[in-house]
Amino acid sequence: MTASDLASLADLLAGPVLPAARGLLGCRLTGHGVTVRITEVEAYAGTAGDPASHAHRGRTPRNAVMFGPAGHAYVYFTYGMHWCMNVVTGADGEASAVLLRAGEVVDGLDLARSRRPAVRRDVDLARGPARLCAALGIDRSGYGADLLGDGPVRLRPPVAPVPAAAVEAGPRVGVTGAHDLPWRFWLAGDPTVSAYRRHVPRARR
Per-residue model confidence as pLDDT tens digits over 8-31: 999 999 999 999 999 999 999 999
| Among candidate residues 135, 100, 101, the one with its CA nearest the CA of residue 121 | 135
Residue 119, domain member (yes or no): yes
What is the number of structural domains in the chain? 1
CATH number at residue 91: 3.10.300.10
Say yes or no to pLDDT of 200 above 70.
Answer: no
Residue 10, domain member (yes or no): yes
pLDDT at 190: 97
Range of the domain at 60: 3-187
Specify the pTM. Answer: 0.92
Tell me: the pLDDT tens digits for 139-149? 999 999 999 99
Residue 198, domain member (yes or no): no
Residue 98, domain member (yes or no): yes
Residue 195, domain member (yes or no): no
Contact between 39 and 192 (Cβ < 8 Å): yes
Contact between 183 and 51 (Cβ < 8 Å): no
Residue 203, domain member (yes or no): no
| Among candidate residues 144, 175, 2, 125, the one with its CA nearest the CA of residue 71 | 144
Residue 204, domain member (yes or no): no
Say yes or no to pLDDT of 201 above 70.
Answer: no
Residue 192, domain member (yes or no): no
Say yes or no to pLDDT of 2 above 70.
Answer: yes
